[in-house]
Homo-oligomer: A and B are copies of this chain.
Amino acid sequence: MQIISLLTDFGLKDVYVAEMKAIILQICPEAKIIDISHNIEKFNVRMGAFMLACAAPYFPEGSIHIGVVDPGVGTERRAIIVETQRSWFVGPDNGLLMLAAEKEGIKHVYEIRNKAYMRFQVSHTFHGRDIFAPAAAYLARGIAVSEFGPEIIHYTTPEYAKAKLEENQVKGEILHIDDFGNIITNISISELEKLGVSEGDVISLIIGKDKFQVKLCSAYNEVSKGEALAIIGSHGFLEFSVNLGNAARQFKAEVGKCLKISRKC
């Protein structure tokens, strides 16, 4: 059995995702196709890269991940396959795949050029169906990755601000706001440790011009309904939440916005 996962910004109204799945099953009928998300914000490569990097580690070894957030479709941007220590990533060379791939350890990157493994007619607007889906399906069928095209050394990586420790505070940014309104930052446990913050402590948070004070909890309902808290989320990043509420609305948070945290004395 071979797992092929899909992450796109195609949405769930149109038939684009179904066409990709149909092509995969034509080539590799025994593939097990799993949707990661099709509701990545349109053209937002950074958000797609973040989501793929969150989800990929939970998949079995040898899984093949297709990512299609592809504002440059039809241009000279390359189509690539990334071989990592534990899986495969197929998609455009625009950084989308690389956050996830780097986490797993990149072994080789190949450009997809061999037309034998594309649809006979490649549209200018839908490489997900005409290039990436067939490539993943042939890979699942056991075609050697070197058959798809030449190895390449220079490829695009996504740029993310790393959280920075400055005196007694950490500067970070908002990576993602989930469907519950939880605010996921790029600040990890190690930065909190450097600040000397541990569970039960109160964190001072500055977003834009607003200041908040929230307790670092280990469960949402350590605070009352409607009250804000900080918590280490399920991906190991610092998150801000509201118990049974929506933190993004309460904190006027937006993806990409900067924030500063410090330990309340």
Contacts and interface: CB of A to CB of B under 8 A. Distances in A.
A60 B29 contact: yes
Contacts of A126: 233-234
Interface residues of A, number: 60
A15 B231 contact: no
A23 interface: yes
Nearest to A180: B42
Given A42-B180, A126-B234, A179-B10, A60 B221 contact: no
B18 A37 contact: yes
B25 A59 contact: yes
For the complex formed by this chain, how many copies does it contain in all? 3
Interface in A7-57: 10-19, 21-23, 25-26, 29-30, 32, 34-39, 42-43, 51, 54-55
Contacts of A232: 123-124
Contacts of A32: 25, 29
A178 B244 contact: no
A103 to B, nearest CB: 14
B221 A54 contact: no
6 contacts: A16-B178, A18-B34, A22-B59, A74-B219, A74-B220, A124-B219
The 9 residue pairs across chains A and B that have the minimum distance between CB atoms: A74-B219, A11-B179, A126-B234, A22-B58, A15-B55, A13-B39, A123-B234, A18-B36, A22-B59
Given A12-B39, A15-B51, A71-B221, 8 more contacts: A11-B180, A12-B38, A26-B58, A73-B220, A124-B218, A124-B231, A125-B219, A125-B239
